Structure formats: structure tokens, C-alpha cells
Chain A
Amino acid sequence: MSELLVNINQRYKSSTRIDSGNVDIASFLDSFVLHGTAVNILETISKDYEGSDQRAYTLTGPYGSGKSTLGLFLSLLLDQNSRTRKLAQQKLESFNIEFANSFHHRFKIKKGWNVVKHVSSLTSPAHAFLESTYIAFDIEFDHSTIEAMSESACLTALQSTIESRQNQSDGTILLLDELGKALDFQSRSNSDLHLFQSLADITQKSKTPFIILGFLHQSFSEYAKNKDAVTQKEWAKVQGRYRDLGFNPSIDESLVLVGETIDCELTTRKALNDNCSISLNPVLQHFAIHARNEKILRKTMPLDPLVSLLLGPISRRRFSQNERSLFGFLASHEKHGFREFLIANYSALQDKPALYGPETLWDYLHHNLHHVITTSQDSKAWLEGCDAIYRSEQKGEWLHVVAAKTIALMTIFGFQHNLHASRNFIIDYFVARGHSLQAIKEILSDLESWSIVIYRQQHDALFIFQGSDIDIHNMVLDKITAVSHGVDWTTVCQSHQVVMATAHYHRTGTMRWATTQLISKINTVFIENCKATPISGQSFVTFVIPATVSIEAELHQIATQSPHIAVGKPTSLETLRSTAIELIALNQILKEEAKIKYDLIAKKELEERINHAEHKIDEELLSIFAGAQWSYQNGPVPTGPLSTAASDIADRLFPRTPVVINELVNRSKPSGSANSAIKKLMNAMLENSDREDLGFYEETFPPEKGIYLSALKSKGWHQYKKEGYCFPKTWSKDAIAANGNMHQLYLEGVRTIQFADGMVTLDDIYNVWMASPFGLTKGLLPIYGLALLKSLEGQVAYYDMDSTKQFIFIPELDEELVNKIYKYPKEAGVRYFEISEIQTNLLTNISTAIAGKGAIHGESSILAIAKHIVKIVHTLPHWVKKTSGDNFVDQKQGLTKEARALRNKVVSANDPYKLILEDLPDIFDLDKNDTALGMKLSIKLRTALDDLQGQHRMLVAGYKSILLRSLGAEFDEDLERRCDRVAMAANRPHIKELALRLGKYLKSDHKDFEFVMNLAIGAAEKNWTDTSIRNGLDQMQNMCVQFRRIESFNRLDTSIKTRPIAMISTDKDGSHVEFEGFYDRASILKPEVAIAIDKVKESINVLDKENQVAALSEILTNLLTPLSQEAE
């Protein structure tokens, strides 16, 4: 890079650290800018030293104001090295010789002072002070010895050390830079300020002169602002022991510093002076107070004079803290910074040298510091400025924007220093910059009419339009006060930190993560959560930090019962608490203050603050969790990063985790491609378990093969046994030795199935595997689930919950069930059926028992046997399947209770194992462990089946016998003829039908008597019911009576001359008796018959009618042939 014509004097750049070792004294003094404020401080201290016993001071001033530099200068003035002292003295003299002398006298400098320089950090102050003192005094010490000392012991040691050097020096001065940090530490660790009071006491009690000078950014009590009012008061009291010296260099002094910093090559300086003086005039003219600074302002060029004036105020603002001092701006390489400007404009001298204008300064601030400013007290004004400039960019031209930026800077930072943007100043300023009067006037009137700037009479100046009337900053402060008591601030402190058990992962291949939680109260939900066993993919342990001391004990109590929480003791929650309360306040304002809704600027400011607070909470939480002391199961956890603790806990919680190094599947949420590989692998396990490498090709290497090799083959699941490749039930010794944990996992799976009371679902097995001590991940569950089931083939029955929501027995593992194992483990069931000797015997016996019933003899698989039984029952006639078993025909021939029970069970059975091994012994009330079970059961089973199968035959037989008895016939040709006759003669369709069907039955080799029965029962066979069957019996009898009646009256003998006669009466038992006879029609015409009739009439005429009937009936009875008696 070529040499620039303007350079930044680097020595001003860095802030001073008072304790830095080799200070080049000459150059320090050379670059040190002594100004009035600094001299005043020195004067105060020296006067006090001479005339009072005040020895303790605090120097309070903003960041970057040069406090430390002043401290260093003071130390040089008192230095024990006379040459150093002299150089410093000269510097002082150069400012004011009179004061320089009186300073020397007041301190009575002869040997010089011991200077202890201390920079505080967040450690115990008393110990750190003592160490710094030892270092300054060249005393050797042991850090740990000091650490072990109490605060008061430290102070005593400090005092005696100082006093020990009584003769070698004039006194000791203790410079405490960053004293605020020490105060912060005391505040956070909840110690009181007694230490600082004691320290102040020592300065007065000490036998040798002892001065303390501490550097602060804010007063003591400010550091205690998060404390309650009483504490704050106490801190203020301690502050009283220290004389507080304000250190706030004026704008002028800043100007001097800026001027000193800018190093201008002479010709350039001249060119600037010649060309840019005109720019200086409006400033000098309108800000009379700065007229005397003309010389200095010239020196600050090529900064625009207005920029130079604004830099001072800007550097005083809060946001300028943290090394962003004045010099930071001048020297840094940030975008839009002065440095960038110089590189662009001062590599070579131009005719009209450029000035770094306020618009660039605005851009610099906006680009680099926006986020900081928006959370500072300047946020409101700043955001208003941003809004105004945004609008000017939308509506106006370049010059509008420049003017707006200029006015904005003056509004925001100039106001307190009376740098008001009066209309005339702005006009003159821009005219001086070379714009026409007319143009700038128009610009201003535009800006005003667009409400970008506003004229305020009170100050006779233009200001950025205050879009917002709301002072968020104060509102927040008020709100914080209002909410800070009694609010549960932890509600906004949700820790999102997730901690990986990294070491555990590297060792086992299983990724586990822990969550973090800050809790303020223990409720049932929390306790429930602690008790719940996390599943794969859920956090296995939660690092919990109690927000209050009061719940700490209770939390530890819970932690003893739950292996899923670790409890931490935080260092300090103060910062978190105050930030959280601020966030709550901010959120409440956002919610409650209706006016903010309509005030975009205020809303934006509020949102920026909310963002900032949230961010800060996150950061603070991170550091709190990282810094806490952790305990697990009431024991310590290894220190170090949280992930170390997490790994330790994971190791303890899951000691039996099988090692599976496969990132594809050993995880709680396998990727899409991993899932497809898992599915392919499972299909291969289903189809090709008997093949080497499950039949994967040797040459290719698809992911499913990789999973197979790393998760199954190498882990002992799939082995070569004497019966070939398989998922063995018994693992080889080598496999067990190599995969101890995996074998335990397998055995646990077997046990879960074997010792369950009935069926277990795959989900049940998975839950066992996911819990401690295995902690298997979700990706591996289905693979091992299926492998387990494969290994138990023949000993277990499989079930699938189908769309009827019932578990249905599945004869063998199939693709659909494998899919369930993978995807819906709750719907895949398995049950252990160990076939004992008794049961084998049982099967053989049952097999034999049903052999004659359509089953293939020797078939002995449970399913086959059960199927045959089911088939026997299902192919029973419908009515037998539903009959209550009452007898209809014969008292003895009802369905037995056992047969009925067998039928009921079989009809609804869907599980062969349960049917054969459990239900059958239950039905027949047999002991399942009886060695003779097989024999006993097969006899009973056969009887019951016979009984069932015999029902229909018996019913038909019953109906037949009634028919034959009623008709007085046999199933022979005679009956056949009778049927034919009746079929012809019958008028009633019912009887005609009976005759026809019966005839048909007889003619067709006696087949399908059921058709005859249907007529009586009134329904087709499949609709027969107990009731209709019972009614059908009576109906059959009735029909037979009618059959015979028709026969009687329609005896169609070959001779048509014959007439039938029939008479029905009852016998002495009340049974119906039927009589019949025949006579020749011609008989009536015979004379002897006519005479006989008259005689009979005559002989019975004496009787009444009833007796006449009785007499004639009696005679007829003897004449006619009785028909066989009808049954009831």
C-alpha cells in the first residue's frame, strides 16, 4: 500500500492498560495529551494528600475517556526512578509550571512511591489485590496458598507488606483499574462490600502513606442495582469512604485529542487549509463557543469540522464503550470509517481535498454500531433518525439524504452540547460545501414538508422529526421496577441447549443427547417427566438448574429417584435474572402499551431490545450451564464441558448398549434412504435368512448390505450352524464373547416374549430395548425385532392387528407383518408356545382322533390340526352350529355340554395355538400338565365331534320315525303307491306337496329326507332353528293325519262301484281311532237292504238321539276295520 498523505497516529489507538510491563516512558509521555480535566484530578488528589487524611479515591468516567492513561501518568509522577519522575514532571510543567511544582511539594517526593498496578477481573478482589501487591514488591508467593486465605487475612497481609517497605519509599499507591469488575464479582457472589470499606480503612491506618485510586465507569451503587434497596443503600455508604472524582473530558479536550491524532503531511495540510477554510466558517460562525478552537479544528481536517465537533459527544455515549473509543473510529478499518476514507481520497493529493462529512459518519455508525445503539439509551433518537433517513431516501435525492443525515447526527448527538442545526447553519454549511443557496433551501423545505425534519422554535433549529413520542428507555426502566418483584423470571429462560454425549457416541456409535432446563418450581408435570422413561430420540437426561435455593433440596431428592436428571449448582444467576426481568418488562410493554402498536419507531426499538435481551439470555444460559457444578444420582460428574458429563451419565445409564458403528441406522431418526435400506434388509431377512449374507451379491455393496454386515453379521445375529445359515436361537461361544452386550439384548428380547402372560407386541419388546441398560436406537429396533422373531420361528405364533382391530393369527412371518414390525410395532404381536412333550403327544393324539374325519392322517402341525377341527365344525349343518342343544325327539339325544362348548369355541376361534393348547383342555376340563392329556383329550374330542356330527342324523331319524308311525308304514313300495294316490287326490297343496316329496324320496333311493322335513319345519335347511324344528315335529304329525284322511276319503279302488266309509272316534284311552270300510253302491238299491234299514230305524226310535248314535256307532265299529292308532 502506498504511503497515505494523512496518517493516524497509532499510539493513541490502543487504550492503556496500566499494568502493561515495558512502557516506553518517553513515547508515552510524548503521546499523552494532558488536558484540564486531568490536571484538575491531579490537583485534587495532591491537595487532599497534603491537607487531609483522605487516601481512597475512585475516578469515575466513561470508557475511553483516558482514565487509565491518567492513572499511568500519575504513577510516573510518583515513580521511584528519578529519571522517569523527571520526564513526567516536565510534561506536567509544560502544561502549567506552577501547578507542577506544587504537585511535587505536596507529595513530598524524595525516594518515590511504590506503585501497585492492578487490573481487576471477575475473581475474588482481596486475593487478587494481594497478589498484585506481591508482584509489585517482587515478593514470591504461592497462588494456592493465597487462594486458601480468607479475605481479611489477605487485607492484613496487604497492609503488612506495604508497611514493610516503609524505609525504601515515600509511600504506596494502589491503582485499581476496572474496579467495576471487582464490584461486579462481589455483587454476583453475594458478598458484601465490607472488603472495600476495610481497604479504605487501611489507607488511613497504614503506618506508611498509602493511596488507593480505583477506576470506575459508574458509581458504586450502580453496580448493586439488581439488589434490593437495603443493599443498594449499603453500597452507597461504602462509596462514601472513597472520594469520587468525576472524569469527563470536555468536547474541547476531545478535539485536541483528535487533532493530535491526525498526522498530516505538510503540503496536504496546506492544501486543506487553503481549500477547506470556507467549510470551517459556518461552524465557527454559528457555534461561537468553538471560535477559540479554530486552530484545533483545522488540525482535525480532513475531518469535516462538523464531524470533529460531533465526535466528542459521540465518543461519550454509552454505545461507544468497549474499545470503540474515539481512536477506534479514527484508526479502525471498518466500513465507512475514516481509514477507508483516507485510502480512497488521500493516496494522492487532489485539487480540492475531500472532507469526511457527516453523511459518511452516519453511514459508519449505522453500518458498524446500529445494533449497539439500538439497545442503548440513544436508541429512540437513533431509530427516529434511521426512519427519517429511510424516508428521505425513498422520497428525495442524494442531497436530501445528506442533509437529513447531517441534521440527524446533530439532533441525536449535538443536542446536549448545543450543537443545534439552525436553519441558517445548515444553509451556510451546505453553501460552504458548494451547493447553491436555492438548492439547499428547497431541500430543507422538502424535508420539512415530508415531515422528515421539523423546526423547533424553542431552539431555533431543525430537528429530525420525532416520529415517536414514546420514550422506550424510561418506560422500560419503570416497567422493570414494576415487575421485578414476585415475577417468575425463569419463564423466559427456556434453555434450548442440547448436549451431545460425544464420547459415548464415539465409543458405542449411539448418538444420545441431553436437554437443559432452568426451573423455578417443581410441579407434578416436572416430576412426571422425570419419572417417564425416555424413548429413542428423546433426551436421555436433563441437566436441571434450580433458579432458587429453596427448591434445590427438593430437586436433589427427585434426582435420587430419577436416573434422567442431573442437578447443577450455578455460580450466579444475577445477570440472567436481570436480563430476564428486562425481557419480561419489554414483552409486557409490547403487549400492554396500545400506543406502541401505532408507533413504528417505538415498536421497532422495542423489538430490537427484545431481540437483544433474548440473545443475551441465550448466551447467559449457555455460560451458566457450562459453569455450573453438576451432580448425578447424588454423586459428582466429571468436570469439563457438559458433553463430558453427558457422556459419563450415558455410560452409566446404558452400560449394556451394544456397539453398532453405523451412522445410517444407529440413530433415532434414520433418513429416508436409510429407511429404505432398512426395509430392503428386512425383506432379505424374511426371504433369505438361510443364505450366506442373506443372498446379497458379493460384488455389489448396497447400503442394506452394509447394515447387514455391521449390525447383524458381525454382531452374532446371523450365523452358520449345522442346519445352514440362520438366525440362531443359541449363539456360538465366539459370538457371545465378541458381542456380550448384544447377546444380552437378544436374551432380554427372548425373555420378554417367553415370560409374558400371553401375547406381547413388538412395541413392548422395543420399549424394553430402548430403556436402560440397553438404550437401543429406533433405527435398530425393527432390524433386531425381526431377527429375534426369525430366531424363534417354530416356538412362537405371530399376530397382526388388522382392520377389524383384532389381533389375527398369522401362520408365518410375511411381508405385511414385517412392515408392521418396522412401522407399527403396536400392531404386530408374538406369543411364545413352547411345544412340550405333553403337547407333542397331544398333537399326535388329536391328529389321530380327527384322522377319520376328513383329515390327512399323520398331519401334525398345529395349524393343520386346528384347521381340520375348525372345518369339521364349520361344515356342520347350520342349525347344529346354532342349536341350543335341546333334544327334540328323544330325551337322551341332546347335545352334550362339552360338545356345545367345543362348538362355541371353535366357531369363534382364530388362533390355532390358543385353540389347541389352551381352549381344548379347558373345554374338557383337563389338566394341561397331565402326561395322559393327549389320550384323554383325544377321546373326549372325538366323542364331542361325533356328538356334533351325529346331531343332524339323529334329527332326521327322529322325523322319519314319526312319519312312519303316523302313516303306519315303512319306506317301501306300498308307501310309494300311497303317496302317489294322495298326491293325486289331495286338494290341500301342503299335503299334496308332502305326498310328492315323500314319493320322490322313496323313488330316489331315499336321498334328501330334509326336503320332506323342510315342509314340516317351514324353512329351508339352512334356516332351520330350534323353534322351527320343534314346531316342525308337530306339524309333521298333523300332516300325516291329513295324509291318511285324504287316503280314507279318496280310496280310489279299481271298482268305481265301491264307496268308502270312514269313522273317527276315540278309544277308551281317549286316543283317536279311525275306522273304515267299503260297500257297493248298488247295495242300497237292494230290497233286503231297504227292509233292514226300516227295521233298524224302528228298533232304535225309542231311544233319544244320543243313544241312537251310540248304538249305531257301536254296530259300525264292529263292522268297519279299525286303522292303526295315531300317536299323540
Chain B
Amino acid sequence: MNKTININLASTFFHIDEDAYRILKQYLTSLERTFQNTQGKEDIMNDIEMRIAELFQERKKHTSYVFNTADVEEVIQVLGQPEDFISGALDEEQNEDHNARTKNTTHTSKKFFRDTDDRYIGGVASGLAHYLGIDPTWMRLALLFAAVFSAGTFFMVYVVLWILVPEAKTTADKLRMKGEPININNIEKKIKEDFEKVSEKFKDDYEDARSTVKKKSENFFGQLEHFLKSLFRILFKIIGLIIVFVAFMGCIGWFLSFFLVSVFGMSNSFINPYIDFFNTSNTFSILVWIAIFLVVIIPLLGLFALGRKFINPRAHFFGLGGRWTIAGLWIGSVFILSIAAVNQIRQFAFTADHYTQELLLTQPSDTLLLKATIEKKTISQNPIIRSDWVFRWRHHRFFGHYDERVRLQIKPNNNPENLLEFYTTADGPKWDLAKQYAQNINYNWQEEDHTLWLDPSLNLEIQDRFRRQSLEMTLYLEEGQILYIDRSVLKMLDRTIPNDQDYSRSRMGDHYWKMHNDQLECLDCVPKKEI
């Protein structure tokens, strides 16, 4: 079944079927394009239309005859293709382009164009392949080999060709590139009955001719722009790759350190000693740790997504809802952390101190031995596990066996007695609480058989661990008291203890010292060089 259309050619009425109509319409439109820049275009078109009417009239067998494609093609055969029209009526002033085109219709010579429909970089290889009549793949391989064996200089040749050789833009260019004769049939074949494109082609040709020079320069900058664009694209991809890598490693690292190590209980981890750091309820503490985890991992995931986006602009992550959820989680985490931070700061608002003094039993007639109780001894001596044991153990594993917060100074006493003074400080949200924390500091020390045993660390109640507690002890010795400093206490000693040798604390161990004239005098040191 075929639709019939009524047409009016030069005031004469004809029935024509749809396909035939389409061909005729296409033919007339292409003719119109051909004569676009010819003087008296309307006259010519009228004449042609009239002639078609006349030819139709001759073929019309009866009044209701419907013209079919064969009829129309026959008529077109008689009239000729648009190209023939031009070759027959070539105006001297008509442009070079038409000259070239007429030559091509009869000669079908090829022209070197870049084939941008089939390209890897600039379409030079495929264009050259069309020109030489070989397969583009072989041409690409050949160019690649040439580039490799010329150590890249051939690449410059490529770039020059890329810039200089025009791109096959119009259908006519594409046909000429492949050496096919440019006539309506071929164009029709080429662009599959797309009438719009046929008219485009003639328009393009016309415009090409009018602004060849302009186009040339535009082409160059267009190429440059294109080249820079692809360069940036590659650069972007490399940056994206780096970002993805960093983000991925960050995620893995954070995840491992956070979960596998702390939560699953491997000791010595970064977080373990601080697992109860926050002076809050247990539930909130857990929330805070989750928030810390999220606050780091979400930006890392975001970075990962960004990197992926760099590599592939169409990559999508989590969807819109998912993204909002994640953003919400992050903001929530930040909120929780700020509450925790404010809370934490409040815990250290006040600092209070507390003094106590203990009189030592050792008399100047005896030598006082100063020793530190080492951890193992403490534990073995105290079979009952104290409330802070876990903490102490972890704490020491982490910081070593000595607590920075325990200090010992040695000073002369003007009274004839040996004194041990304890000065403790602690922080708290209120002054009285801070005072209480300072008083609550439990310190293990012992004096037995003229030996003063000092604990290198503090014993704290489990709920009072993080109160910035510190202990400064001062040992007041009376004139003439002899003291032996064991090496175990060295780390507890204050940095400067007045002595006649000008020793720093690290050298004061394992020596006998005598309190004399407000300073310690070494009794068994190698004498200082006499001046």
C-alpha cells in the first residue's frame, strides 16, 4: 500500500505516490541548493518545474495515473543530476570550489581529509588510509611504528598534519575523501535518504566557499583547543588516579587502625589507651568513637568518589538519597564531636592542688636508699586486682614504665628532719571537684629499712583517669644526710637537682650523695678535674 499525494507542477495537477514524491522533492531541493548563488535562480527553477510537468504530461497514460518512483527517476535521468547542470552552465565567475567539484564528478579524484568519524586522535591516519586506499588499521599501525622508530619525531609530523589537513565535515567532503563520485545517488546512499542532510551539504559547501580563509584559521585554533582539551583530559585522569589511590589507602588505613586494632582488642593501638577517654556516659562515648570514625572516613570516601569522577565523568556514587544520608551522617558526627569537645573542655575548666607532708623515719646516721618500685613487683605484691590495674597496665605499655606526671625534687631542709612533701594538682569542671580529684590521687610509697620505695606512676580511680592529675614530690633532707640514688628513680627526678658535680639527672644514679651546704655532694664520683 502506498499513499498518493497530489502535486501541482507549473499549474498542472498530478497524482504521485509517496516514495516518488519524496524523490522528486529531494531532487528539486538539491537543485535549488545548487543554484543558490546563481543569478536568476527562480527562473531556472520555474523552467525546470515546467519541463518536469511537460515530461510528466507525456508519460501520463490516463487522467488518474499515479506517478511512481520509476517515472520520477526516468524524468530525473532526462534532466540530469544537479552536478551536470553546473558543468553545463559554468559561470566564469563561479568559485573554485565548484570547479573542483565538477572535476570530481567526472574524474572522482580523491582529496586528503581527516576522517573524524573514524578516529583515535585526530583522524589523520584514517584520512590518509582513505586517500591511499588502504585499511585505516594498517595505516594506524604504520604511523605508530613510524612514531616509535623515529623516537617520536614522527609524532610531530602527525601533529602538523592534524593542524594542516582539513577535517571532512560535509557529506561532499566525506565522499571526496573516499574517492566516491559526488552525485545525488551516492549522497543518498551515504546519508540514507536524509533530505535534511542533503540540503545541509549544499549549504555547507556554499558557506565553505564563502569563508574558506576564515574557516582555515578557525580550524587551526579549533584543533589547538581540541588538542589542549584532550591533554587536559589525560591530565585529569592521572590526577583522578592519584586521588583515588590516596583515598583508597586512607580508607583502608583508617578502617584497619580503627576497627581491627582497637575494637577487636589488639593492644598497643593508637586508640586503645583512650577508649574511655571521654568523661561521659558509656553510650555517648561509643557514639563519639563512631563519630570520630565517620568524620574521617566520609571525606575519604568523598575523595574517592571525586577521583572516580575525574577518571570517568559519568561515574555515580550512592545515588542522590545516599549522598544526602552520608552528608547527614557527617554533619551529625561533627555535631556529636563538637558536643564532646565542649564537654571535654569543660572538664578542665578548673585546676586545684593539694599538699601533704610525711616525716621520714630515717635519721642522718643512716644512709637513705632511694628506689623505684617496678611494675611487676607492684602487681605481684598486690594479688588483689585494683580498680585501675587495667589502666595502669595499658598506660605503661604505651608510655613506657615511667609516668611523666610523677616528679621528684631533692632539696635541703633547714630543720633537723627528713620530709617527703606531696603536691598534687588536678582539673575538674568545678573547683571543688578539681580539689577532690587532687585529694583523691592515690600514691604508693613505702619506707622500710632506710629504703624509700617510690612508685613511678599514679594510682587513679577508674572514673577519674583523665583529670590531668600530677604529683610533684619534694624530698627535704637535713644537713649531712647521706643518700644513695638508685638508677631506677632517675626518670622520676626533676631535671635539675643542685649538686656539686653539675650532673644532669641521668648521671646521678648509683652514687652516694651527701646533703651539704644546700646541695648534694657526690661521695664516690670520679673527682672533677682540678682547675
Are A and B genuine complex partners? Answer: no
